[in-house]
Amino acid sequence: MPITATYSQLVMPDHINNVGTLFGGQLVSWMDLAAAKTCYRFLKGTKAWGAVTKVIQEVEFNEPIEAGEWVTFNGTVTNAGKTSITVKIDAFAESRQEEKRLACTARIVMVAVCEDDQGNFIKFEHGKTV
Ligand SMILES: CC(C)(COP(=O)(O)OP(=O)(O)OC[C@H]1O[C@@H](n2cnc3c(N)ncnc32)[C@H](O)[C@@H]1OP(=O)(O)O)[C@@H](O)C(=O)NCCC(=O)NCCS
């Protein structure tokens, strides 16, 4: 079974850009959080402290999102390397009247980290497979 996680956000007025729709940088930030949550779940049972973002790839904004809509991010681990974890994120927007629509997608590479003796975060070999 692939590891998945879901994260939702309500789009509030302070998330809006100057053309009246959800600011893309805000959406990417939420996708990054959804990837972090997916990795949190993937890394359960290991000694990793967490995972940090290494690369945000293939971000595609398909549809504008409006204030007042809910956005649900579905994260799925698609690949696991020695320290890396690749997460596919699908962002679905939902208005009061219509069905969910796939508004944005991205692929995010995270790297598992742990703390060394000096308190610095370093790469961690998680030992997990997809
Ligand atoms: C994350 C970090 C510890 C990784 O250290 P590094 O020495 O740069 O790591 P590497 O080059 O060995 O890459 C680590 C893994 O990422 C993969 N990776 C690196 N660049 C990649 C790219 N462009 N595309 C896909 N995977 C990539 C590597 O293949 C490696 O995977 P593997 O261990 O599974 O084989 C370090 O780069 C760092 O601290 N970056 C800043 C992170 C950060 O601040 N993020 C924002 C806040 S969360």
- For residue 77, CA distances in Å to 13, 18, 80, 95, 99 come to 32, 34, 8, 27, 25
pLDDT score, position 120: 95
From atom 26 of ligand 1, which residue's Cα is the shortest distance away? 109
Residue to mutate (ligand 1; options 28, 54, 79; most atoms within 8 A of CB): 54
Find out whether the beta carbon of 55 lies less than 6 Å from any atom of ligand 1.
yes
| d(C-alpha 112, C-alpha 50), whole Å | 6
What digits encode the pLDDT tens for the residues 19-54?
999 999 999 999 999 999 999 999 999 999 999 999
For residue 96, with 0-12 CB atoms within 10 Å meaning exposed, 13-18 middle and 19 or more buried, which class applies? Answer: exposed
Return the ligand 1 atom nearest residue 52 CA: 48
Q: Tokens standing for 38?
A: 């997916």
Residue to mutate (ligand 1; options 84, 120, 128; most atoms within 8 A of CB): 84
Question: Where are the domains positioned within the chain?
Answer: 4-123
| d(C-alpha 112, C-alpha 123), whole Å | 6
Return the ligand 1 atom nearest residue 121 CA: 3
User: Which residues of the chain are modeled with pLDDT < 50?
Assistant: none
pTM higher than 0.75 for the full model?
yes
Q: In a 3-state reduction of DSSP, which class is residue 38? A: helix
* Assigned CATH class of 4-123: alpha beta
